[in-house]
Amino acid sequence: MRRWTLNLLTFFVAAMSGLAHAQSVFRLNAAPEVNAGFTATFVVRYTPPTNQTNMEIGLRILDPAAVDRVQGDANAGVVTSNTTSLVACVASSLTADQRWFLNVRIKILPGYTGPFRVQAYYKNAGSAINLGIADAGCGVGYPRPTLVLPAANTTVAATPMFRMTTGTPAITASYEVELFNLDTAATVTKISPATTTNSTYNFFTNAGTGSAAFANGIPPGRYQWRARVRDANNLTGPWSAYQNIICNGGFDVAGSLSIANFQSFFNAGWQTFYQAGFGGRNYWSSARQNLLNAKSVGMKLGVYAFMNFDNGATFSGSPNDQNGMWHTDRALIAAGYDNSQVDVADANLRVQNRIAARTAMNLTLYYVTADLENTFQGNVVRGTALAPAGAPMTTALKVQRMAEAVQRTRNLGFWPMIYTRNENSNTWWNQYTGSSTDFSDVPIWDSQPDLGTDWYGDHLDKTANGSTSFVPFAVYGGWTARSGKQWYIPPGTVSNPVPLGLSSDLNVWDWAIWTVTPHPLPGDTAVRYRPNSVSITRLANGSYNVAVTIENLGTVEAYAVRLDNIRLGGATLGIRQGLGRLDVGTGGAKTRTVNMASSAGLPGASVNLTFDIWTGQATTPTPVTIPVTLP
C-alpha cells in the first residue's frame, strides 16, 4: 500500500474584534493517511466562547473527482449535506465551551491519481462569510518516479541533467530532486520548474543563458539521489528509490579571471581548476595570478603544458631541442616555480632543492599535464640531431617527448597527467604517437566535447551519441577508462552558452583523481637491464625466444619505459617493446619476452644481444650489449 501522509493540523482562529466569536476555537484533525481505494477520516471541531445560535460547521471537498462516497455524522445539530463535495452540519443552539465536532469519512476512488484537498469552515448558518477556515491536502496515487539520468553508479559534473520516468500523472507537476551527500551527510534539494502533464521529464540544472548557465551546481561529493512528483498545490507523491552517483565538476581556462569569478565557479560546484601554463610557443602570463586567485577560494589546482612537436618556440632563451622536460618546466615557471637549482649534481641536494622550489610557489599543484593536440605537429622549425629541420618529427620521437614531460613532472615532485583526444575525425593520439600504449599508467584527461543539452554529455564513462543516447568510452592508448573528461567547450550559443558568462571549459573527474595526496617526494629514475637475467630458448622452427628483465633502481617510478632496436646476432626485431611504468626496486621489475628469427645464428654460436632502453629521464636511449651463447 502506498502511504500518503497528512500531518495533524490545528488552527486557533480569531475573528476581527467586535464579532461575537472573538475567542472561538476551531480545529481540523486531518487523516494521517489518504490512499486510493481506502477510507480516510477527518474531524472538524468547534468550541464557542459564549452561547450561540444557528451555527454551521462543514468540510468542503475541493477535489470531488477523487471521492467514491462520503459519510458524515455529528455529536450535535443536524447533518444538512452529505455529498462528495460538501459535508455540513447546522446546530440551532450551542452553549459556551460546548465541544461540537463533525466526523467525515471519505472513501477515495480506487485507482485515483491526483490532488486531494479539503477545507474545513465554520460560519453563521445561511451566511456566505466564513468565520474561520482550515485547509489540508496531499497527492493521491502520484507515480513514484523511475530514475533515468544521471545513470546509476556513474560520475557526472556539477550540473547534471536529472531525468525521471513515471506513469503519466494526471496533473501539471514539477519534480523535487533530493541529493544526500554520503561524505558530509548534507542534503541538497533541487526543485524543477513546473512542467505540463508528461510521463518523462528532464530537469536541467545547467539551464539558463549568460551568467546563469551552469550556475545551479552541486558540490563535489558521493551522493544518493531520489525524486518525487510535486503538484501545483505543493502536494507531493512518494519518493523513488535511491540511486548512487558521484558529482565531481571542474573547469579550465587560458585567460584571466578575478577572485570573484573563481568564487562564482566554486559556489556553483565547479571546484577543481586547471590553468594553461605554457602554450607551445609562449608562456601564459595570467597563469600564476589565476592559480593564486583559485587557491584563495579553496579550489584544487593543476597546470598544463601545451606541447609542441616542431621546436617552434622562438622567444629569447628557447633552445633548439624543446624536449618534454623543457615543456614541463615552462608550465611550472609560469605558475611561479624556480627551476634554477633543481638539477644539481648531488642527488640528496637535488631532492631538497626540488622540495624547496615547490614550497616557494605557495601553491598546491596536484598535477602537471602534458597536452598533445593537433597543433604544432608540422615540420620541425629548429632542427636537432634526432629531428632535423624541414620534416615532421617521427611518431617515436613524439612519444619520447611525451615521456620526457611525464617523467620530469614526477621527478620534480608532482603527479603527471596527459590531455588529448582520439575520437571521430580527431584521432590526435593514434595519429601523432602511432597508437602508443606506453602511457596507460598515466591518468588520461580525455577531450570529448559535447553539448550542454546532451543527456550523457557530462557522464565520465560515456560519450554522447546525439542528444539522447550514448556510446561507451572508446578505449585507446591502453587506457580502459577516463580519469577526466573535458566535456563542454562552449560554442557560446543561446542553447549552449558560456558558463557563468565567463570563457571556460567544463570537466568531469574520476573521484580518485582529486583525492590523491599531492606533492609526492621528488627523485630520479635509474632504469637498467638486470645483470644475468637473459634467458634464451630455441624453438622447433629454429627461432629463439629471448627474455630480459628491466628494473628501476632509482627513487621514483619510471614511466613509459621502452625497448627498441633489439638485435640478436643476425636477427633484428623492428617492433618497439613497451614496458609502461616501472616501480622502484626489484618488485617493480618487468620481464619482456620477444621472438627472434633463426637468422640470429646457429646453436652454440656466440653472439651479442643488443637493445636500447628509452625512458623519459633523458633525451637519448641507454644502449645495452650482452654477449650470449645461442642454445
Supply the DSSP string of 463-529, one letter for each residue. EE-SSS-EEE---BTTBSS-SEEEEE-----SSSPPGGGS--EEEEE-GGGGGSPSSPPP----EEE
What confidence tier does 17 reach under pLDDT thresholds 50, 70, 90? very low
Which among 596, 451, 510, 528 has a CA at the least distance from the CA of 250?
510
Cβ(467)–Cβ(453) under 8 Å? yes
Looking at residues 541-561, what average pLDDT do you find?
A: 98
What confidence tier does 24 reach under pLDDT thresholds 50, 70, 90? confident
pLDDT value of position 157: 96
Ranking 25-39, 188-202, 215-229, 431-445 by mean pLDDT, the lowest is: 188-202
Task: Check pLDDT > 50 for residue 523.
Answer: yes
What confidence tier does 14 reach under pLDDT thresholds 50, 70, 90? very low
pLDDT value of position 196: 61
What confidence tier does 123 reach under pLDDT thresholds 50, 70, 90? very high
CATH 3.40.228.10 for domain 527-629: no
SS3 283: strand
Determine the Cα–Cα distance for residues 524 and 584; give it in Å rounded to an integer. 10
Neighbour tally for 590: CB within 10 Å: 15
Delimit the CATH 2.60.40.1170 region(s) of the chain: 25-140
Chain-wide mean pLDDT for the chain? 92
Looking at residues 280-290, what average pLDDT do you find?
A: 97
User: 631, exposed or middle or buried, with CB in 10 Å at 0-12, 13-18, 19+?
Assistant: exposed
Per 3-state DSSP, the chain is made up of helix, strand and coil in percentages (nearest 5) of 15, 40, 45
pLDDT value of position 171: 65
Task: Check pLDDT > 80 for residue 202.
Answer: no
Share of the chain above pLDDT 90, in %: 78
Delimit the CATH 2.60.40.10 region(s) of the chain: 146-247, 527-629
What DSSP state is assigned to residue 242?
A: P
Determine the Cα–Cα distance for residues 515 and 613; give it in Å rounded to an integer. 34
CATH architecture of 146-247: Sandwich (2.60)
What confidence tier does 9 reach under pLDDT thresholds 50, 70, 90? very low
pLDDT value of position 8: 34
Ranking 195-209, 346-360, 491-505, 519-533 by mean pLDDT, the lowest is: 195-209
Ranking 120-134, 227-241, 395-409, 464-478 by mean pLDDT, the lowest is: 227-241
Determine the Cα–Cα distance for residues 342 and 262; give it in Å rounded to an integer. 32
Delimit the CATH 3.20.20.80 region(s) of the chain: 249-515
Determine the Cα–Cα distance for residues 221 and 210; give it in Å rounded to an integer. 26
Helical H runs in 297-411? Answer: 324-334, 347-360, 395-411
pLDDT value of position 97: 93
Determine the Cα–Cα distance for residues 477 and 464; give it in Å rounded to an integer. 20
Determine the Cα–Cα distance for residues 296 and 258; give it in Å rounded to an integer. 11
Ranking 306-310, 315-319, 449-453, 545-549 by mean pLDDT, the lowest is: 449-453
Look up the pTM and report it.
Answer: 0.84
CATH architecture of 25-140: Sandwich (2.60)
Ranking 133-137, 183-187, 450-454, 540-544 by mean pLDDT, the lowest is: 450-454
Determine the Cα–Cα distance for residues 140 and 4; give it in Å rounded to an integer. 7
Q: Which CATH superfamily is domain 249-515 in?
A: Glycosidases (3.20.20.80)
End-to-end CA distance of the chain: 80
Whole-angstrom Cα Rg for the chain? 36
